Structure 1
Amino acid sequence: MKQPLGVILAGGLATRMGGGDKGLLQLGGQCLLARVIDRLAPQVAGLALNANGDPSRFDAFGVPVLADSIGGFAGPLAGVLAGMDWAAGQGAETIVTAAADTPFFPADLVPQLLLASEGMAQPLVLAATPDPTRKQVRHPTFGLWPVSLREDLRAALEDGLRKVVLWTDEHQGREALFPVSGIDPFFNVNTPEDLARAEAML
């Protein structure tokens, strides 16, 4: 399989942060989005950003900015679809998504997702972490997605589907399990308190 393209998901409304772009918040002297780009870029064949509104605010990052093609802030799956459409134009078979507000995700995210997808005709894998109260927790903004399913996903979104795991389960999606040692690698910044916690984690 060819190396996936990477798509950073930043299309949300950040209501718990008071609006605006969470990815542009500063963490240890560097914005969250820059940290995510630095971590994902070495793992993928190319990179784009899914964000809505005026794309020029991201000019400094030098990556294509992809708006949702499904209106009304339809959630992460709309960003996945935007990424799939972009990747199809690049001749790519798969994309890997990462959230713009999750600065500590694994540096081996892509290799582990690809490993978990071995033998799948349509590689569809979500990142997951162990959880003592349940078998595991899935992280639906971190996944490997086959471009071949983009029309299926478009139809599902147009029918009102919003929950990522409903769609991945329907297509026999798998999980790649990542260990948690010390800090949760998928800790994300939703609130000002989370940003303070992230500063402490640094």
Structure 2
Amino acid sequence: MTDSAAPVATWALRAHAVFDWIWWIALLNLLWWAFALVGLIVVGAVPASVAAADLTRRRLRGEVFPVVRAFAAAWRRELWRSNAALGVGAVVTAILAVNVVGRLGAGAIGEPLGIVSAMALVAAFTITAVAVPMYAHYDLPLRAYLLTAGRWAARNVLHVVLLLLGAVAVAGVGSVLPGAVPFFTVGAWLTLSTVLCIAFFTANDRALAEREAAASTSR
């Protein structure tokens, strides 16, 4: 390969990777809506989110699998278990979101109760957003996921800020390009939050292992 052809090949590979992720986001978005609706949203949204996180984690690890079949299998497998573990967080987040939207519409978000509601929404959203990929990444008791996600968020504020900035970016793109909302928004958020959280968890696990190794060496 000539020197001039190498940059072209590199650019082509990068473009292919970008479009591959765009395809992934669109497919994940479609599957999330389809399976969330099968569960009438109330019991379908949480396992659909868990399935999306699980498949994105597998994709990051380089696994190759039939996406639709794997998503359906993960959704069925986690239908009741994921709702038991994460359902409370999802319901609380949804209730707070409705409350905050209502106060925004009424122009009452600046009142003390409106500010408290908005802060509670951010906290509930953050904990649930962390808990979904945590559920896919770690094997914990069902009752421990939301509590562990809350503790993790409190100890990793910079990571939480980055995660919230990602949510703002996805929402901002959706507001600028409203036609893309039905096709990409949910898939984009679930992909982005999973990629970020898995990176955070992996870095934390590596740092913990290094500290334990250093401590054992110093004994």
Query: Normalising to structure 2: TM-score of the pair?
Result: 0.28
The structure with the greater share of residues assigned to strand is 1
The structure with the greater share of residues assigned to helix is 2
Query: Normalising to structure 1: TM-score of the pair?
Result: 0.30
Task: Name which one, 1 or 2, has greater alpha-carbon Rg.
Answer: 2
